[in-house]
């Protein structure tokens, strides 16, 4: 290991020897609350067992079950199995889950969570994201994620927002880049999920990066960027 260096070392306090990180606000951040969030194209509702039937109906168009391939749960064989899972998932505080209700459909079409909540370190993650086929690649999908990202970084004041996914999950990796996350690296063979080895790709947004990220997403979500059929006029990645 002698002579090996980190290619991009983190910031350090120039007044220290040996170097340590800069001083930060050590105030613990608030924990997320189980409250709704409303957007222009979508509402987020604290997940509840009453959402289960709509969620199961939304899942039925995923005939290949591809949407569940990288999650630690699903697909669900029947409505009772979905209801049992949602009933438990809705009660956890980390992850804390919201059902996603796009205005165009009026039904619960997916869920997402805030998780890995480290209030003392001001670090939080957005994850456990499941979009039914009718939600994928829509304005509502992007806005749903943005609502929780903004809540974490602005309302709660977290310093670090992370995104992680199976390193083979190309759609999730593309989404992380579109949303403005920075790739940090891949932890090899980190987990076993559904009996298979999982390497995990990590991404982050830091507090000082958030204003520019938020402005870009906010501009993309503007009504003027969408045709009457809901199609975006320009890509978020552009």
CA dihedral sign, ordered 79, 36, 40, 207: negative
Euclidean distance between CA atoms 198 and 102, whole angstroms = 31
Q: Which one of 3.20.20.140, 3.40.630.30, 3.10.20.30, 1.10.1040.10 gives the CATH number of domain 37-225?
A: 3.40.630.30
Task: For residue 153, give both structure tokens.
Answer: 């970084």
Task: Give the pTM.
Answer: 0.95
| pLDDT tens digits along 163-205 | 999 999 999 999 999 999 999 999 999 999 999 999 999 999 9
Confidence band (pLDDT; 50, 70, 90) for 3? low
Euclidean distance between CA atoms 65 and 128, whole angstroms = 16
| pLDDT tens digits along 49-88 | 999 999 999 999 999 999 999 999 999 999 999 999 999 9
Cα separation of the two ends of the chain: 41
| Residue 24: how many other CB atoms lie within 10 Å | 10
Place of tokens 């009660």: 91
Cβ atoms 180, 145 nearer than 8 A: no
3-state DSSP assignment of residue 110: strand
Q: In the chain, where are the structural domains located?
A: 37-225
Euclidean distance between CA atoms 145 and 147, whole angstroms = 5
User: How many angstroms from the chain centroid is the CA of residue 237?
Assistant: 17
Confidence band (pLDDT; 50, 70, 90) for 2? low
């Amino acid at each position: 290991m002698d002579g090996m260096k980190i290619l991009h070392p983190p910031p350090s306090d120039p007044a220290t020897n040996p170097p340590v990180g800069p001083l930060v606000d050590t105030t613990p951040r608030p924990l997320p609350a189980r409250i709704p969030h409303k957007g222009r194209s979508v509402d987020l509702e604290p997940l509840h067992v009453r959402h289960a039937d709509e969620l199961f109906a939304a899942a039925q168009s995923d005939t290949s079950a591809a949407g569940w391939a990288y999650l630690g749960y699903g697909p669900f064989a029947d409505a009772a199995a979905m209801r049992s899972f949602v009933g438990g998932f809705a009660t956890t505080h980390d992850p804390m889950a919201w059902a996603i209700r796009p205005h165009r459909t009026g039904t619960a079409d997916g869920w997402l969570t805030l998780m890995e909540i480290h209030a003392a370190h001001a670090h939080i993650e957005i994850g456990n994201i499941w979009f039914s086929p009718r939600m994928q690649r829509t304005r509502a999908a992007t806005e749903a994620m943005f609502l929780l990202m903004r809540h974490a970084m602005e309302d709660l004041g977290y310093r670090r927002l992370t995104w992680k996914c199976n390193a083979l999950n190309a759609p999730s990796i593309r989404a992380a880049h579109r949303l403005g996350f920075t790739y940090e690296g891949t932890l090899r063979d980190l987990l076993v999920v559904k009996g298979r080895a999982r390497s995990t790709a990590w991404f982050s947004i830091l507090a000082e990066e958030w204003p520019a990220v938020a402005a870009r997403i906010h501009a993309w979500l503007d009504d003027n960027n969408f045709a009457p059929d809901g199609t975006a006029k320009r890509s978020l990645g552009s």
